[in-house]
């Protein structure tokens, strides 16, 4: 039986999950692949801590180069994260003819182009299924299962930490900070949760998704992002009154040769399948021109789900190895660059529905002044809720608009927030109406 030798660089949470899976399901993997996937060496700066998996200390090294320079190793799995060091290791490994598997979404989102070009130059495979939505096989779905489709839209919940926090805020009415504390206590948020809650992590993943969907390596800077730190429980309550919930959405949508690429909290209709994706779960809703709407749901992070994704990529490379081939599918699943030139639509040009929450003094004529400014900027109101006076004397006026252009919205809110009758900065969320082809 043929054999494929693997070196692991980075023995943290995901690394331990990969090792655990390779040990637990060894027979199954052999039966499925028809080859043995052999873990030869693991490099990590810390080779003493217990990871809860049984591993011969002889397998461990503090020197990643021992793995990269080992001619017997066919595949390296990069799980150290970060940019410079990871990049260097991956490029070195590819130069030495090794295939690479990485869960490093930030690196792919920033340096995808050079990574893919280097893989092509050295005729090796590079796989990154674990980088997008953890255990959910969405990279594979876009590259293969839905490959016959023009992708029209992707709406995704890609950050489990944010989704967990929003679920607590929705179900228990907690303010953001309290929900974040619970998430930290239960291990759903890291000590420094910045990249999760400011939308960066979701934007990294969306960058990879749009690259796959449209066949060009876009970069992280192309994606607009806002996080969930500006979400208040009252907006979630108002969302409910209008028939929506609030989710951190990653959105990609193609129209007229332009792509919208944005991450921000958004209103989602309660009867949309994404509205029921709660707790730390991720989900990717994809609309193809032939397949119609689809959804892929599961755990987007964690040792075992991410281990599942890494090992399924390993099995894929092993299946190529047995047949003596590489690069059966190119990383973005396009054998040649698509003819269609696609550009990212500037954020101020997007057109969508909006939710506004104005804080205004409780006096007659408030609504008329606000709606006057909106009307002058081609923004028409779909529905309004005006609440009773609050303790501080100001009243919230909340409304949903019909479709409006982002730049018009920004201009009008700038004017509205300068009005004497307006007491606080207006809160804005974008509204995703139920999409369907």
Q: Which residues bind a second copy (CB under 8 A)?
A: 17, 21, 24-25, 27-35, 129, 135-137, 140-141, 144-150, 215, 273, 275-277, 283, 288-299, 302, 304-305, 307-309, 311-312, 314-316, 319-320, 323-325, 328-329, 333-339
Q: Could you say which DSSP state residue 118 is in?
A: H
User: Does 425 qualify as catalytic in the annotation?
Assistant: no
47 or 322: CB nearest a second copy: 322
Nearer to a second copy, 39 or 146 (CB): 146
- The residue among 17 and 233 lying less far from a second copy, judged by its C-beta, is 17
CA distance 424 to 357: 10
Answer whether 342's CB lies under 8 Å from 216's CB: yes
**Partner residues linked to 298 by β-bridges:** 282
- Collect all residues with Cβ–Cβ distance below 8 Å to 262 and sequence separation of at least 6: 223, 224, 225, 250, 251, 347, 350
Tokens of 177: 């900070």
Token pair 């504390």 is at which residue? Answer: 181
List, as one string, the DSSP characters of 290-332.
TTEEEEEEEE-SSHHHHHHHHHHHHHHHHHHHHHT---SS-TT
Q: Look at residues 96, 104, 97 and name the one whose alpha carbon lies nearest to residue 9.
A: 104
Catalytic residue among 98, 105, 205, 247: 205
380 burial (CB, 10 Å; 0-12 / 13-18 / 19+) is exposed
Task: Count how many residues are written for the chain.
Answer: 437
Nearest 10 degrees: Cα torsion 326, 329, 334, 336: 30
3-state secondary structure of 383: strand
Active-site annotation, residues: 205
């Amino acid at each position: 039986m043929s054999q494929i030798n693997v070196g692991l660089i980075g023995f943290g949470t995901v690394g331990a999950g990969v090792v655990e899976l390779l040990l637990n399901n060894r027979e199954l993997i052999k039966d499925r692949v028809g080859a043995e996937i052999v873990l030869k060496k693991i490099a990590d700066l810390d080779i003493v801590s217990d990871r809860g998996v049984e591993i011969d200390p002889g397998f461990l090294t503090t020197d990643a180069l021992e793995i990269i320079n080992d001619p017997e190793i066919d595949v390296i799995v990069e799980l150290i994260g970060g940019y410079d060091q990871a990049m260097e290791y991956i490029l070195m490994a590819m130069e030495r003819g090794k295939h690479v598997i990485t869960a490093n979404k930030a690196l792919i989102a920033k340096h995808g182009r050079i990574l893919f070009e280097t893989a092509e130059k050295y005729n090796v495979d590079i796989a990154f299924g674990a980088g997008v939505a953890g255990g959910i096989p969405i990279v594979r779905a876009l590259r293969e299962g839905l490959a016959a489709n023009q992708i029209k839209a992707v709406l995704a919940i890609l950050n489990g930490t944010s989704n967990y926090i929003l679920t607590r805020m929705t179900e228990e009415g907690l303010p953001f900070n309290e929900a974040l504390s619970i998430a930290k206590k239960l291990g759903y948020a890291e000590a420094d949760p910045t990249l999760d809650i400011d939308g960066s992590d979701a934007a990294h993943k969306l960058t990879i998704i749009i690259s796959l969907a449209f066949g060009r390596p876009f970069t992280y800077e192309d994606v607009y992002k806002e996080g969930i730190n500006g979400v208040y429980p009252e907006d979630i309550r108002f969302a409910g009154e209008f028939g929506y919930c609030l989710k951190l959405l990653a959105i990609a949508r193609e129209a007229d040769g332009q792509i919208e690429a944005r991450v921000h909290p958004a209103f989602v209709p309660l009867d949309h399948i994404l509205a029921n994706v709660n707790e730390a779960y991720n989900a990717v809703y994809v609309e193809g021109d032939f397949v119609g709407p689809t959804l892929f749901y599961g755990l987007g992070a964690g040792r075992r789900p991410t281990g599942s994704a890494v090992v399924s990529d390993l099995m894929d490379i092993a299946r190529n190895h047995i047949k003596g081939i590489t690069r059966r599918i190119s990383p973005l699943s396009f054998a040649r660059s698509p003819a269609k030139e696609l550009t990212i639509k500037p954020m101020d040009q997007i057109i969508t529905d909006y939710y506004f929450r104005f804080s205004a003094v409780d006096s007659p004529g408030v609504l008329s002044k606000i709606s006057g400014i909106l009307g002058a900027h081609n923004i028409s109101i779909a529905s309004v809720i005006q609440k009773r006076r609050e303790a501080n004397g100001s009243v919230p006026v909340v409304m949903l608009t019909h479709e409006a252009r982002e730049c018009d919205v920004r201009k009008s809110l700038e004017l509205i927030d300068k009005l004497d009758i307006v007491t606080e900065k207006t809160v804005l969320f974008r509204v995703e109406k139920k999409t369907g082809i």
